[in-house]
Amino acid sequence: GQQVMQIPQYQHVQEGEDFTTYCNSSTTLSNIQWYKQRPGGHPVFLIQLVKSGEVKKQKRLTFQFGEAKKNSSLHITATQTTDVGTYFCAEVSNAGDTSYGKLTFGQGTILTVHP
């Protein structure tokens, strides 16, 4: 079953407000990836986090990996209408597995931005 829980399921913000989505796991994650899916589109890779406590930034997006590697977050500062879409976290199966590369997705957070 699903091993990565993502919250919230929906988030409505006014343009200019901040947005955060969270992923949590009961077990230690080997790594975490984040994807964005525009309405009617397909998932597009944003970033991968591997190290405990890792923080990466892409312009207004900040990605964090928890110290215990059991949670991760994506924070968007000052949202814009172009940020609309569904944001997914996903764990990649371990390099030692024959299924290496297989993704286990969170349920996703649907972000709407009101201008």
Partner 1 sequence: NAGVTQTPKFQVLKTGQSMTLQCAQDMNHNSMYWYRQDPGMGLRLIYYSASEGTTDKGEVPNGYNVSRLNKREFSLRLESAAPSQTSVYFCASSDPWLATEAFFGQGTRLTVV
Closest Cα to residue 34, out of 1, 63, 57? Answer: 63
DSSP labels for 20-88? EEEEEESS--S-EEEEEE-TTS-EEEEEEE-STT-EEEETTEEEEE-TTSSEEEEEESS--GGG-EEEE
Q: From the list 8, 9, 51, 68, which residue makes contact with partner 1 (rule: CB under 8 A)?
A: 9
Binding to partner 1 by CB under 8 A, coded x per residue (else -) over 37-76, reads: ----xxxxx--x----------------------------
Say whether residue 88 binds partner 1 (CB under 8 A): yes
Q: How far is the CB of 45 from partner 1 (least distance, A)?
A: 4
Say whether residue 26 binds partner 1 (CB under 8 A): no
Closest Cα to residue 113, out of 90, 81, 87, 88? Answer: 81
Q: From the list 60, 77, 105, 112, which residue makes contact with partner 1 (rule: CB under 8 A)?
A: 105
DSSP-derived pairing of the beta strands 10-14 and 109-114: parallel
Q: From the list 2, 25, 65, 82, which residue makes contact with partner 1 (rule: CB under 8 A)?
A: 2
Which residues in this chain contact partner 1 in the complex, by CB under 8 A? 1-2, 6, 9, 31, 33, 41-45, 48, 88, 90, 92, 95, 98-108
